[in-house]
C-alpha cells in the first residue's frame, strides 16, 4: 500500500489572499426623497399649511400661472410647507435684475421663488405653479457670457466634459433634454466657470 498525501485545509493553512480594492464611489449624489410631513405639528400650524396648499390647488384649477405669497407666514408654517413640498431636482439662481433663488419642489411644475437681499435675507417668498418661471426665461434670454474650459484639477472628473458639452450644445438650438446626476464638487466647478455660484 502506498502513502497518499491528503492536504489539510483549515485556518492559517493557506496564505492570505491579497485584499480586494475598489475604486472609490461618488460620496454625494442627488437622489429623489419623498417629502417628510410632520403630522404631530401644532394643529393651528397644520391648518395654516393645509389652507395654503388648498389655495394653491384652487388657483391651479383656475389660472395658468398660479402664485401664492408665503412672505407673511410664520416661520413654523413655512417650515412645514418646506417639509411637505420637499426639494426637486432643478434649482436656478437669477442675479439680474433681482437676486432670485428658484427651487423646484418634488412636485414637477411647482416652484419656490425667493427674492434675496445682498445680505441673503429673504424679502419675498412665493409658490408658483407653472412649466418654468418667467424670471428664468427672461434671464436665459438676457445675454450670454464667454466661457472657457479650464484645466482639470484635483477632485474633478466629469465636469470638464460636461462643460464642453454645454458649450457645444449652447451653439445650436436643440429640443432634446438631458438629465444627469453629478457630484456637488462637479456642479460647483461647472457653475463657477459659468459665472454662477451654488
pLDDT in tens, the chain (198 residues): 677 677 666 666 666 667 777 777 777 766 666 666 666 778 899 999 999 999 999 999 998 889 999 999 999 999 999 988 988 889 998 887 788 999 999 998 999 999 988 888 888 999 999 998 988 888 877 766 666 777 777 877 788 888 888 878 777 654 445 444 455 666 666 566 555 544
Q: Is the pTM of this model over 0.75?
A: no
**3-state secondary structure (DSSP) of residue 118:** coil
Evaluated on CA atoms 156, 158, 161, 162, the torsion sign reads negative
Fold exhibited by the domain 28-143? Ribosomal Protein S8; Chain: A, domain 1 (3.30.1370)
Contact in structure between 185 and 156 (CB atoms under 8 Å): yes
For the chain, the structural domain boundaries read 28-143, 144-172+179-198
List phi, psi (to 5°) of 173.
-85, 130
Residues listed for the chain: 198
State the DSSP code for 119. Answer: T
**3-state secondary structure (DSSP) of residue 110:** strand
Amino acid at each position: 500500500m502506498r502513502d497518499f498525501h491528503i492536504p489539510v485545509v483549515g485556518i492559517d493553512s493557506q496564505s492570505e489572499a491579497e485584499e480586494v480594492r475598489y475604486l472609490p464611489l461618488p460620496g454625494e449624489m442627488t437622489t429623489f426623497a419623498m417629502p417628510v410631513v410632520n403630522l404631530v405639528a401644532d394643529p393651528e400650524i397644520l391648518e395654516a399649511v393645509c389652507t395654503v396648499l388648498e389655495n394653491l390647488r384652487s388657483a391651479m384649477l383656475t389660472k395658468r400661472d398660479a402664485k401664492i405669497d408665503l412672505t407673511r407666514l410664520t416661520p413654523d408654517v413655512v417650515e412645514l410647507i418646506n417639509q411637505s413640498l420637499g426639494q426637486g431636482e432643478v434649482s436656478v439662481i437669477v442675479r439680474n435684475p433681482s437676486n432670485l433663488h428658484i427651487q423646484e419642489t418634488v412636485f414637477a411644475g411647482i416652484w419656490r421663488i425667493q427674492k434675496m437681499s445682498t445680505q441673503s435675507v429673504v424679502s419675498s417668498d412665493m409658490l408658483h405653479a407653472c412649466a418654468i418661471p418667467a424670471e428664468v426665461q427672461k434671464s436665459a434670454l438676457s445675454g450670454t457670457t464667454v466661457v472657457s474650459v479650464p484645466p482639470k484639477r484635483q477632485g474633478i472628473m466629469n465636469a470638464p466634459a460636461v462643460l464642453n458639452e454645454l458649450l457645444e450644445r449652447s451653439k445650436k438650438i436643440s429640443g432634446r433634454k438631458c438629465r444627469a446626476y453629478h457630484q456637488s464638487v462637479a456642479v460647483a466647478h461647472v457653475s463657477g466657470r459659468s459665472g454662477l455660484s451654488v
